[in-house]
Amino acid sequence: METTAGSTWKQRGTGVLAFVIVLLLMPLGHALMVLLEMLGAAVFVSALGLGALGCVLLWWGVARPMRDLYATLLGALGGVLTWTGWVEFSFVWIAHKLNVQPLMENGEVATKPEYLVMLSSIGLLGTMTMLFMFAHTRCPFFVWGQKRMGVHKAVAIPSASQRPLAMIAFIEMIMLVWTFYVVLLVCYDKSIAGDRHPITWIVAFGSLAWSIYLFWKLMRIKSFDHAVRYAIPTVVIFWNFIEIMGRWNLFKEIWVHPKEHWLENSLLLAMLVFFTAYFMVKGRKDRQRSARARLAEKEGKRQQAAPPTVRNQAAVLEGTL
């Protein structure tokens, strides 16, 4: 029989594992972009194919009936690939086309041209945010905002029995990465703040504190697929802190130099594959265990609801076997 302490540690393990899987996607996404940039003339065709692959994973997670966990993982991975292939490289293309120069500091590239161009999407990002703020959603952040503005009941709709979890994870990944990219770019802009400005310090350590709070809440989630979806904002907000620490040159970002640090990045990829496989196997075993427990509980209730004569006959039959 499983103890309460053992159940608690298993529940926390679910949250930790979800956090690690989503966290590994962040540096690997960066490394993938850098590797694509090394392809030269074929870079934009390859980026187009990468984004298309992300959309295929999204389609697979939405169109094919499968477990919630698989759909969530496909949506999250599809979001990373589509963001890297279509969104980031669209800014690379425009920056290349307009001959935008990188931001240089002390003879080194501080901000690449594509990220300078990305800042122009701030208005579109704000418009997309309004779409979520004034539509039905289960995102705790937008639900909190809707309640404060008094529109939560107006936009609420009856809960559907089947939600497109792959699409939820997909758009969650893209919107969060986009949002905090723009936040960091605003902070780095010297005409607004600067990478050593107090605002940047607030964003860095505010993101760390926020992610710790979200991580604490993540530890309380039992469902594997829900844990992955909750890990996405937890990791992306935590990654703000990592990005700013890298900007301050407090450590070397090995994912920005994938060829130089091919071994470390290969280990990150191997860890992602291993933990994802373990997560899926563990989730399947837990579902099977829960299904057996529900079946046994249902059978017990059925026997209790049976007439006394039926229960007596069953007891007699069991005694004669």
For 132, the token pair is 């979520």
**Phi and psi, residue 109, nearest 5°:** -75, 115
Give, for all 321 residues of the chain, the pLDDT tens digit: 444 444 565 667 889 999 999 999 999 999 999 999 888 778 999 999 999 999 999 999 888 766 788 889 999 999 999 999 999 999 999 999 999 999 888 888 888 999 999 999 999 999 888 888 888 888 888 889 888 888 877 777 655 556 788 989 999 999 999 999 999 999 999 999 999 999 999 999 999 999 999 999 999 998 888 999 999 999 999 999 999 999 999 998 999 999 999 999 999 999 999 998 888 887 676 666 665 656 666 666 666 665 655 555 555 545 554
Distance CA 229, CA 171 (A): 11
Distance CA 80, CA 70 (A): 16
How many of the other CB atoms lie within 10 Å of CB of 204?
Answer: 21
CA atoms within 13 A of residue 72's CA, in its CB half-sphere: 21
State the pTM of this model.
0.82
Q: Is the dihedral of CA 180, 186, 189, 193 positive or negative?
A: negative
CA atoms within 13 A of residue 242's CA, in its CB half-sphere: 17
Angle at 37 between CA 34 and CA 43, to 5 degrees: 140
**Phi and psi, residue 105, nearest 5°:** -140, 125
Cβ proximity of 163 and 222 under 8 Å: no
